[in-house]
Amino acid sequence: MTMTCVICKNGQTGPGKVTVTLQREGSTVIIKGVPGDVCENCGEYYLTEAMTDRVLSIGEEAVAKGAEVEIVRYAALPSVPELAPVEK
């Protein structure tokens, strides 16, 4: 979905891959290659609600297993069927 970036107010967003960094309870989780919409001007990214849920779930798993630093490539993760759009 193309939109005007709410951060810089100048660029348009378009599909791309981003690196998401999460920090919690002394853990740092870096997830590379996450699909999202990226501003062509400032690089700010926007994730869908389903993708945000998936990324947060990955972060929670890392914290639960006590990882201090974890780096993963999104494409290498198993697919999650519940992220498919729900048809009404």
Task: Classify residue 7: in a domain, yes or no.
Answer: no
Task: Classify residue 31: in a domain, yes or no.
Answer: yes
What is the helix (H) or strand (E) element at residue 58, kind and residue range?
Answer: helix 49-64
Q: How many domains does the chain have?
A: 1
pLDDT of residue 1: 66
Range of the domain at 40: 13-76
Q: Across the strands, what pairs with 21? A: 30
* Entry pTM: 0.80
pLDDT of residue 80: 56
Q: What separation in angstroms does the CA of 26 have from each of 7, 16, 50?
A: 28, 29, 25
Task: Classify residue 65: in a domain, yes or no.
Answer: yes
Give the gyration radius of the chain's Cα atoms: 14
Classify strands 27-39 and 69-73 as parallel, antiparallel or unpaired: parallel
Digitized pLDDT (tens) for each residue of the chain, 88 residues in all: 689 999 999 999 999 999 999 998 889 999 999 999 999 999 999 999 999 999 999 999 989 999 999 999 988 677 655 444 444 3
